[in-house]
């Protein structure tokens, strides 16, 4: 109750712009908002799941996250097409599978002692609850699920239909004194709960993997059946709804261009960046010129030796006080050791059309410091080791017209615009939220 009191006081203060009614009298309910009903136990459960040593979060912040996710999910349901809202990753898990797995993990972690006690009371553990169909052998699995094309990672329609008809286990929850709607499990039940690696294992007729996944599935069903019978109905519904809200919020953010890995395609961001005006790009460039700093010219010298061991020795001697010019004369095997300026590479320019691998190395060196030894590329004759010393380095900036400038600037501007739009949307949703709290909990 102490957590609930602190939570509601802090949360009520943080949402002062929203419409808040203190009209809940049910002692089991802490707060409601639309279809979402929250108890203190539910909020605490999610607080523990959100909280992490590297990203600590308080109970009020957990409450705010739950409410924000609910608001954004509701907006997503109203604004996105069903195909977009329910889109799935071809190589990942189905949406309903992810939701069920997350609910199972959350309940299992919170009520671990009760669940362990329930399973330990069974005469043969989880195996007491199901009977594997011994007709499903490795040979039978291969006949049903072997892929015809090497690059395929998905069952074809014929295989899907066969998998749905193939019962791999009969289920009886009565020994655990639990009730479940599931009395048999098909091959498809297991297959559709796999990511790409799991599906491939089944396609390769790995019968041991299939049996392991079956046992895991039975364990999940036990957790969900126990929760449905032992948790308060509104808590069980809330767990599923909070997780669904988070999933649908993610779809909204993806659609807005704000929830994509750096390697993922991001159509919303790409389209916005394409339409950024020249004026905005130029203004961004002038205000953030340091982000486009480049090395324009480097004046460098080098030492060439035949082995890594000698190269390491030379670098150590230079760091201990040996002059670089003396080191060139003493150790270098390059012909330019006898030039008027021994070992000189001259001025190397960023605009040079013909660049050697030494050119590239010189441009990443700090002026006045000896480099580590670099091994020459294998496709450029005899292997040697080079040591670089940059005598001078002149820095500059990429011009405004450079494609790199335009690409980076337009994406940064677009991302900021998208984030600003999201912030405005979130503020609007919060301001219009209709939240009901249990006033008795504040006493």
* % of the chain exceeding 70 in pLDDT: 92
Residue 317, pLDDT score: 97
Which of 35-49, 119-133, 141-155 is predicted least confidently?
A: 141-155
Task: DSSP letter for 155, please.
Answer: -
Residue 103, pLDDT score: 97
Cα 244 to chain centroid distance, Å, stands at 18
**Could you tell me the two tokens for 303?**
């030492």
Question: Taking Cα atoms as reference points, which of 345, 343, 355 lies closest to residue 298?
Answer: 345
Strands 167-171 and 344-349 turn out to be unpaired
387 has which bridge partners?
Answer: 303
Residue 332, pLDDT score: 97
**Could you tell me the two tokens for 258?**
């704000």
Instruction: Count CB-CB contacts under 10 A for residue 55.
Output: 7
Instruction: Confirm if 39 and 28 have CB atoms less than 8 A apart.
Output: yes
CATH class label, 289-397: alpha beta
Strands 31-33 and 434-437 turn out to be antiparallel
Report the mean per-residue pLDDT for the chain: 90
User: Does the pLDDT value for residue 1 go beyond 50?
Assistant: no
Instruction: Count CB-CB contacts under 10 A for residue 171.
Output: 16
User: Does the pLDDT value for residue 73 go beyond 60?
Assistant: yes
User: Does the pLDDT value for residue 260 go beyond 80?
Assistant: no
pTM given for the model: 0.78
Q: Return the sign of the alpha-carbon dihedral for residues 278, 281, 286, 287.
A: positive
More confident residue, 4 or 49: 49
Instruction: Confirm if 67 and 33 have CB atoms less than 8 A apart.
Output: yes
* % of the chain exceeding 90 in pLDDT: 74
The ranges of the chain annotated as CATH 3.10.50.40 are: 289-397
Residue 137, pLDDT score: 96
Task: DSSP letter for 306, please.
Answer: S
Orientation of helix 138-145 relative to helix 207-230, angle to 10°: 90
User: Does the pLDDT value for residue 225 go beyond 70?
Assistant: yes
């Amino acid at each position: 109750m102490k957590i609930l009191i602190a939570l509601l006081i802090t949360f009520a203060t943080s949402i002062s712009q929203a419409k808040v009614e203190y009209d809940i009298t049910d002692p089991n309910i802490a707060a409601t908002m639309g279809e979402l009903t929250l108890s203190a136990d539910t909020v605490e459960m999610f607080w523990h799941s959100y909280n992490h040593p590297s990203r600590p979060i308080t109970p009020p912040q957990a409450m705010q996250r739950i409410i924000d996710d609910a608001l954004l999910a509701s907006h997503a349901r109203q604004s996105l097409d069903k195909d977009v809202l329910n889109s799935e990753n071809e190589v990942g898990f189905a949406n309903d599978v992810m939701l069920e797995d997350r609910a199972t993990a959350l309940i299992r972690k919170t009520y671990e002692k009760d669940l362990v006690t329930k399973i330990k009371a069974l005469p043969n553990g989880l195996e007491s609850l199901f009977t594997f169909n011994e007709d499903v052998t490795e040979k039978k699995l291969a006949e049903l699920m072997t892929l015809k094309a090497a690059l395929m990672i998905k069952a074809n329609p014929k295989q899907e239909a066969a998998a749905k008809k193939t019962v791999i286990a009969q289920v009886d929850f009565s020994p655990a004194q639990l009730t479940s709607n599931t009395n048999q499990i098909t091959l498809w039940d297991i297959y559709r709960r796999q990511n790409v690696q799991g599906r491939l294992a089944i396609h390769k007729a790995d019968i041991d993997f299939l049996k392991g996944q079956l046992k895991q599935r039975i364990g999940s069903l036990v957790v969900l059946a126990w929760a449905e019978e032992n948790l308060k109905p509104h808590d069980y519904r809330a767990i599923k709804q909070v997780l669904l809200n988070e999933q649908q919020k993610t779809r909204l953010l993806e659609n807005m261009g704000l929830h994509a890995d750096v390697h993922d395609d991001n159509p919303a961001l790409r389209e916005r960046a394409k339409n950024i005006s020249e004026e905005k790009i130029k203004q961004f460039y002038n205000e953030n010129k340091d982000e486009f700093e480049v090395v324009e010219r480097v004046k460098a010298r080098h030492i060439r030796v035949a082995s890594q061991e000698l190269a390491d020795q030379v670098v150590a001697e230079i760091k201990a006080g040996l002059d670089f010019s003396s080191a060139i004369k003493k150790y270098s095997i390059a012909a330019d050791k006898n030039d008027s300026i021994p070992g000189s590479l001259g001025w190397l320019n960023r605009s040079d059309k013909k660049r050697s691998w030494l050119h590239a190395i010189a441009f990443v060196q700090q002026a006045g410091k000896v480099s580590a030894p670099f091994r020459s590329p294998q496709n450029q004759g005899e292997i040697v080791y080079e040591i670089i010393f940059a005598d001078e380095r002149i820095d500059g900036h990429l011009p405004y017209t450079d494609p790199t400038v335009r690409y980076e600037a337009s994406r940064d501007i677009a991302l900021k615009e998208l984030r600003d739009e999201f912030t405005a949307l979130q503020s609007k949703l919060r301001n219009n939220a209709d939240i009901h709290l249990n006033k008795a909990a504040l006493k």
